[in-house]
Chain A
Amino acid sequence: MLLPKARGELSEALFEALRSETGEVGSLHLRPTDQDDAHIALWAMYELHYAGFEDVDDELEWDPDVLGLRRLLERDFEAGLRSRHTATTLDEPFAEGLFAYVADHDGPSLAAYVQRTADREQVLELLRHRSIYHLKESDPVAWTVPRLPTAPKAALIELQYDEFGGGDPNRLHAHLFALGLEASGLRADPYAYIDDVPVEILELNNAMSLFGLHRRLRAASLGHLAAFEATSSLPSRRMAQGLARLELPQEMIAYYEEHVEADAVHEQLAVRTICGALVADEPHLVDDVVFGAFTCLDLEDRYAQRMLGEWEAA
């Protein structure tokens, strides 16, 4: 995989520096042109910690200048996310309070549109966008594991073991999605579609990496996971019905059907045994759990608004 296309002055200069032998990122004092520019730059710097790029020296993963630029962009990003969030006190007990917080959040539903209205091209576009995350499904929250105390650590691994196929690579969720993409005539190599995705998809992905890579944000990482799982089962059923209506291949339908059942389990684990155990250990982290949950719901809303806006206008 090669670096994505630049989207502005900062990413242009950054990608050029990353590709060069010397990798002199230190001389970059540019401000991002816009959010697209900032988020593709941040996404690429995060990616150095996952699979990396063929055209970037692996040494640059821990280059202090790259990390310095990443930190600048992350500060702006986190401040923006926090400014959208209103601190809330959850009802007691914690698990019911968190489920209620997620359920009370009302946003536009892409899954409902796919179930009833979307055409084949629109669904394929959605799958291309979703591929950025689903091909590394559950990887960002894996960064959080070593940052947790005993009980939530064991609980998170219990959930992730299922995400990663229970030891069977054939059942690894990211692999199931890859099979679905191939059967649908789409590319299944990671990030094949990175140049086509809107900024909202970059933000969704960057938020998970931000939360996963900072110990300070471990509770936000788990809160994000809880909201993600708690808004997955019923929408996955709708997605599966929409894909069946449009006669997409069984492999892709099977991916969503798997998530109906898996995420009905995972939402209970994420809310009760993972986040519940974390806040029992460290009660002051409850606000960050809610911040992470909000961010998941909020970024998903923004993506849904954009896509529904585009599709309904078409």
Chain B
Amino acid sequence: MTEHGFEHPDVIICPGGPLLLRGDHVVEDADGVAHETRRPVSAVCRCGKSADQPWCDGTHKVLPARDRP
């Protein structure tokens, strides 16, 4: 907690995992296709290995430590 209340960031970078986005956004994937977020918090893949781009599908957890973001 800070002096003024709680930390509540819009974007959270998860070590070794995705980037969490709070709220409504449009995310463009590597092929230039736009995807709208559909839930209160979305997880954007940072490891590049998700089969569900641009969203994280948990695949980062089975990557060797050196390949995790």
- Give the B-binding residues of A (Cβ under 8 A): 95-96, 99, 103, 150-151, 154, 158, 161-162, 166, 232-234, 237, 260-265, 267-269, 272-273
Instruction: Please measure, in the bound complex, the distance between the C-alpha atom of A260 and the C-alpha atom of B57, giving whole angstroms.
Output: 6
- Give the A-binding residues of B (Cβ under 8 A): 1, 6, 12, 14-18, 20, 39-43, 50-52, 55-59, 61-62
Instruction: Write out the residue numbers on chain A whose beta carbons fall within 8 Å of the beta carbon of B20.
Output: 265, 268-269
* A161, B40: Cβ atoms closer than 8 Å: yes
Interface of A is mostly: helix
Cβ distance A214 to chain B, nearest Cβ, rounded Å: 27
Partner of A272, one of B6, B14, B56: B14
With A267-B58, A269-B41 already in contact, 11 other A-B pairs whose C-beta atoms are closer than 8 Å = A158-B41, A162-B40, A166-B40, A232-B58, A234-B58, A234-B59, A260-B58, A263-B58, A264-B50, A265-B20, A265-B42
Interface of B is mostly: loop
Which single residue of chain A is at the shortest CB-CB distance from B19? A268
Given known contacts A162-B41, A237-B57, A268 and B14 CB-to-CB distance under 8 angstroms: yes
Instruction: Write out the residue numbers on chain B whose beta carbons fall within 8 Å of the beta carbon of A158.
Output: 40-41
Cβ distance B19 to chain A, nearest Cβ, rounded Å: 10
Cβ distance B64 to chain A, nearest Cβ, rounded Å: 13
